[in-house]
Structure 1
Amino acid sequence: MLSLLSDPDEETLRNVAEALTESGQAVSIYDAEDNLRYANETYRGMFLVGYEGPYTFADILRYGAAHGLGVRIDDGDVEALIARTLPRRRSSRRKSFETDLLDGRWFWIEHTVLPNGWILTVGTDISALKHNEKSLRQAHESALLASRTDLLTGLPNRRYILELLDEALAAGEAPGAGLCASIIDIDQFKVVNDTYGHDAGDAVLRHFAQVFRESLRPGDHLGRIGGEEFLLLQMDFRLDDAARLLNGIRAEFPPATLPDQATRRPIAFSAGMTAALPHDDRSSILSRADRALYAAKAEGRNCTRIGLGMERTATDRAHAPAKTAGRSS
């Protein structure tokens, strides 16, 4: 164990350090020149295994970085850490902070600058607390993800994709922002269910979702809004480019393998696409995309139609607007 130099406060410091050591805490004392004067067993195990000096704060950090001891340095630059830390070592009389070690443990550090410029640090192992905190955070994140996910396809569910639409419309108020929204319907889906059963229908839905996931750009979103209908949000995209991408996916869409592993079912889909207009809200943009989808269905399916404004065609007027359930496949 390192020993304190002769000092009027030596006995007091030693008594404090020994009392803290008995509690299992990590204790260190540095003098005014940042030389280590005392380290208990716990502290030595954190920073000094195999170390023979010099016992300055900076050199101890360098040794730890080189030998896998001590604090975790996110960017791996120990010299930058030293340069940031040294000027702040005595910036306040008392401060507290948490730090994680390379061995996976977490410590809560109480840092006290004494009247003579020496520094007393007392570290308490909070690894169990951090583990519980991490577990709770992961459980919360898992629950949040489950509440936003369609269980069958793994895509955003109706509620979440509509929330993403609202967020995109709000962000679209900025100059130059673009949003294309498409309602997509798998053609003749009822025939799959009636002919091959609901397990086959589920396989088609999962296959459809997987192909789209692999085909979209990062930042675009596809969500299932009900049955065999999906909502596609394409961000910062011109309408003609968005339509070209969607038609390219359709042209190369691979058939789905049904549960019997012998039947391969071609997949076709119809889409109604529109671009966000100034002052659009959820209802107006979905209504426009929905009318375009009705037009695609009326014109023979397996195509994309674009809704450019609020005009209504004869086909549009023949159908009620914006209803997900009950649409003919």
Structure 2
Amino acid sequence: MHSPPLPPTDPELLAQMLALQEASPQLIGVFDQHDVLRFANPAFREAFNLAPEAQPRWLDMMRANARAGRGSVVSAPPAELENWLAAVASRRGKQAFRAFEADLMDGRWIWMCETLLPNGWMFCCASDISSLKTDGRALRLQRDQALRAAQTDVLTGISNRAHVLQQLEQQLAGLHQPGRRLAVILLDLDRFKQINDGLGHEAGDRVLCDFARRLQRSTRRGDACGRMGGEEFLLLLADVEAEQARAIVERLLEQLRQSRPLAEQPLFRYTCSAGLAVARAGDSARSVCQRADVALYQAKAAGRDRCVLASD
């Protein structure tokens, strides 16, 4: 989808807007479609421990802040940082507008608003609301934590079945808009029962977590992924042609071939099979997933470790 045309520029207006943002005590940041920080005012950079010239990816910024004890409060122990980040990333950039409360490590309580353009650029603005009455805040935080838990796969930290299917329904509802496309990919780890039986369930869990991390890294902010159950996952790629989607999946499969997720088993490797279907206007979640499932079966039957595109 193309962005709306920009209004005629007024140099003085743009200069004053920039000066106001620089002077504002509000935390202001702008991220591009790749979730790279392209602008941040001094208040934002101070809160998130960023050098004046730094332009990190959002996920890298959050990871560095968590390890340095800066930025947002992480409601998880250090050993579970990656799962916490995966859960947060699975909800980021999925709505045109989102507002929520957050705690900073310096003790401040902020109200963060995120505005998303159709082209993927995001405007973030946070206000310090520490001085406001906190009546009911604990209850709201418990509600938000319960909602996150209801949307998150406990083991891997990415979206669970219900949440990723909800995102699939939302993506399908937008296909009537001109230029919108959606690729739906079902992925299944090959011979996973042999991994559990031969190496134990703890090793199998680490393989699932390794796969989930790599799967999530293959997505953009407007995409989605989740664990459907067991060793089966769902990947949603927005606004890509079939061959572009296949190329993304093929890169993921190649990364898996190179992965060695078990330090105590340096020769261990694993693979994955994928079935890819392109959603059509009028598709339901069930119909498009059925086509992807047939393609996944064909990938397994053809020898595994490959991606098969569903035939129309």
Which category of TM-score, normalised to the shorter sequence, fits these structures?
A: 0.5 to 0.7
Within 5 A, what are the aligned runs for 1:254-265? 254-258=258-262, 261-265=264-268
2:147 to 139, 144, 147: 144
Output the CA distance in 2 between the equivalents of 1:262 and 1:151: 25
Residue identity opposite 1:255 in structure 2: S
Name the CA shift for 1:195/1:131 in 2 (closer, same or farther; >3 Å). same
Partner of 2:157: 154
> In 2, are the aligned partners of 1:255 and 1:264 still within 8 Å (CA)?
no
Within 5 A, what are the aligned runs for 1:158-307? 158-253=161-256, 254-258=258-262, 261-307=264-310
Output the CA distance in 2 between the equivalents of 1:275 and 1:105: 43
The alpha-carbon deviation at position 136 of structure 1 amounts to: 3.0
Aligned residues: CA RMSD: 2.8
Output the CA distance in 2 between the equivalents of 1:72 and 1:216: 33
User: Please, which moves more after superposition, 169-178 or 285-294?
Assistant: 169-178
Output the CA distance in 1 between the equivalents of 2:108 and 2:207: 45
Output the CA distance in 1 between the equivalents of 2:211 and 2:275: 17
Superimposed CA distance per residue, residues 94-138 of structure 1 (whole angstroms, 9 cap, x where no aligned partner): xxxxxxxxx9799xxxxxxxxxxxxxxxxxxx9786324443333
Q: Which runs of no fewer than 5 residues in structure 1 stay unpaired?
A: 1-67, 77-102, 107-125, 310-329
Partner of 1:33: none
Output the CA distance in 2 between the equivalents of 1:105 and 1:298: 54
The count of corresponding residues between Structure 1 and Structure 2 is: 195
Superimposed CA distance per residue, residues 159-196 of structure 1 (whole angstroms, 9 cap, x where no aligned partner): 11111111110011212111000000001111100100
> In 2, are the aligned partners of 1:269 and 1:303 still within 8 Å (CA)?
yes
Output the CA distance in 1 between the equivalents of 2:193 and 2:240: 32
Tell which has more relative contact order, 1 or 2 (C-alpha 8 A, sep 6+): 2
> In 1, are the aligned partners of 2:172 and 2:281 still within 8 Å (CA)?
no
Identity of paired residues, percent? 37
Output the CA distance in 1 between the equivalents of 2:305 and 2:270: 9
Name the CA shift for 1:72/1:238 in 2 (closer, same or farther; >3 Å). same
TM-score by length of 1: 0.54
SS of equivalent residue, structure 2 residue 133: helix
Superimposed CA distance per residue, residues 4-56 of structure 1 (whole angstroms, 9 cap, x where no aligned partner): xxxxxxxxxxxxxxxxxxxxxxxxxxxxxxxxxxxxxxxxxxxxxxxxxxxxx
Output the CA distance in 2 between the equivalents of 1:302 and 1:73: 49
SS of equivalent residue, structure 1 residue 211: helix
The alpha-carbon deviation at position 145 of structure 1 amounts to: 0.7
Q: Which runs of no fewer than 5 residues in structure 2 stay unpaired?
A: 1-22, 29-40, 42-106, 111-128
TM-score by length of 2: 0.57
Output the CA distance in 1 between the equivalents of 2:264 and 2:204: 14
Partner of 1:27: none
